Chain A
Amino acid sequence: DSGVTQTPKHLITATGQRVTLRCSPRSGDLSVYWYQQSLDQGLQFLIQYYNGEERAKGNILERFSAQQFPDLHSELNLSSLELGDSALYFCASSVGAGNTEAFFGQGTRLTVV
């Protein structure tokens, strides 16, 4: 158990819909990262927050957004969903802004039908 909690574990939704994925980082970790893993793309970095502020942005679509709340949990919002958004979404956390010893949650499997 990494200490990073992601909910829900599975999500099935229709095209065009909007969903919210939630991540609770390890106790004491200030940094949260979001990754997407689809079959043909491998693990792709989406976005990072550090202590409530956006720190780095990867290949995140404009239809996707994220935020980190004062209690340090984070949410990833995916809107106008397309079939191609079906993937595993992982959240990771680390103590600092740049620690590469990040700890990953078990992921949310999103299926868009």
Chain B
Amino acid sequence: DAKTTQPTSMDCAEGRAANLPCNHSTISGNEYVYWYRQIHSQGPQYIIHGLKNNETNEMASLIITEDRKSSTLILPHATLRDTAVYYCIVRIYNAGNMLTFGGGTRLMVKP
């Protein structure tokens, strides 16, 4: 799996967009970018994934740069309940076996 680099922590004001960056400069052509989050000691929650096109769902948007070496997860209107650790994972789709979680970004949404 390609290695990812994320900031250790970030703050965001409630109601504003939270933009969480992820660097994956060694990503290969068949690797997808996945985002999960973990709200304090709960099980990780799948958010979104993409290959090269930008993706949007009810939770978030994923913007992947044209060279695919970095991506940004956008929570359009952050709420206090979005306070969590966000994990960026690069993985070949359906390659088998496990998700490898790194350190993630601890996002603190403040009132």
**B97 and chain A: residue at smallest CB distance:** A56
Q: Which of chain A's residues have a CB closer than 8 A to the CB of B43?
A: 2, 4, 90, 92, 104-107
B96 at the interface (CB under 8 A from A): yes
B99 pairs with A107, CB closer than 8 A: no
> How far apart are A62's CB and chain B's nearest CB, in angstroms?
19
A100 pairs with B34, CB closer than 8 A: yes
A19 at the interface (CB under 8 A from B): no
Task: Tell me which of A58, A88, A97, A101 has the highest count of chain B C-beta atoms within 10 A of its own C-beta.
Answer: A101
Q: Within the complex, which residue of A55, A101, A107 is in contact with B46, where a contact is CB–CB below 8 Å?
A: A101
B45 pairs with A99, CB closer than 8 A: no
Q: Which residues 41-55 of B have a CB within 8 angstroms of A?
A: 41-46, 49
Task: Tell me which of B34, B44, B103 has the highest count of chain A C-beta atoms within 10 A of its own C-beta.
Answer: B44
A98 pairs with B44, CB closer than 8 A: no
Q: Within the complex, which residue of B38, B94, B100, B103 is in contact with A99, where a contact is CB–CB below 8 Å?
A: B94
- In the bound assembly, the distance between CA atoms of A88 and B91 in angstroms comes to 24
A98 pairs with B95, CB closer than 8 A: yes
Q: Which of chain B's residues have a CB closer than 8 A to the CB of A55?
A: 96-97
Q: Which of chain B's residues have a CB closer than 8 A to the CB of A101?
A: 34, 46, 49
Q: Within the complex, which residue of A2, A48, A88 is in contact with B98, where a contact is CB–CB below 8 Å?
A: A48
- In the bound assembly, the distance between CA atoms of A97 and B97 in angstroms comes to 7
- Chain A residues in the interface with B (C-beta under 8 A): 2, 4, 33, 42-43, 45, 48, 55-56, 58, 88, 90, 92, 96-107, 109
